[in-house]
Structure 1
Amino acid sequence: MFDCVSNATITPAIDAPVLNPSPATRFSDVLIAVQNAPGLTPKVRENLRGAVTKAASLVSAQGLHGPVDIEKLRRKFERLTPALLGMKTDNAMAAFKSNLRRALRLAGHDIMPGRHVTPLSPDWTALMAKLGGAPSPSNSAASPMSPQQKAGHPMRSPRRI
């Protein structure tokens, strides 16, 4: 898929971005998709490349040659703090994650599909039917869950990073 990888610079063997990710999608493929994405400013492109490069170094011994594993990224980010990544604020960490998600979407990965796209599980559909319809936004936060409860919650998305 690529001719060489050096200092996060990719020379693609083909000019088309990766549109349909496969389990074998590599971080270098994501960099190619970012490079070929239309409409990005140079600064945004640089931020996306930086996020991909840092993520590759965090989860793959192969670096940019390693496969993109969304679940592995999610698990890694659950344990990290901004300080462990050399960042000074939570906002910097949030920007890093946002840039990584954007880059992965450009490469064709479906990251954090919206509620309008993801159907309810059969258990939740049955419960909603018993309650008489769709939950209203006003009561959706009526019983906040602790992080421990969320970790085992059936609605938790396994693809969230």
Structure 2
Amino acid sequence: MMYQISKHVVATVVLVFASVMNLNAQQAQQPSADEMLNQIGMLKRLEAMQPDSVAPKYKLALASLNFAITNPHAAQTEPMLAQAEQTIEQMAQMEGTDQSDLCTLRGFLYMTRIVQNPSQNGQKYYLDVLQNFEKALKLNPHNLLAAQLQAKFVEGMKQATAQ
């Protein structure tokens, strides 16, 4: 019995370590805009092959929002945001969609709109961002993406209001 528990603990530790290393590697190597667009193109094809699956839609919306927030004034940003919004609405209509993930994506969408034009969209979407991240974390307190995005948003707002 003890041996089985030890194997489980070791496997969990290895998995956590690998995840942390992968996250650090991803953060250290921010992909270029072209690489992000290529990834989005691949995700669109995957989503088209699996139209009834939530996971490809989630990954497509997340990649589109990542592109938009890192390239807020690129020519492709507005179409990416429109696509992300449409994908989020499609996910909302599907059974099996994790509501915490849905709220996270909505919060990220509004957050991206604020980054795109802070003076015009800040007051318009500020509460939507906070409410969606809070709801995501209430539904799933272990939603790491929602917690990270919420922390970045709050920090960004503190910096913006301090100026």
Query: TM-score, normalization: structure 2?
Result: 0.29
Question: Which has the larger share of strand?
Answer: 1
Flag the structure with more relative contact order, 1 or 2, with Cα contacts below 8 A and sequence separation at least 6: 1
Question: Which has the larger share of helix?
Answer: 2
Larger radius of gyration: 1
Query: TM-score, normalization: structure 1?
Result: 0.29
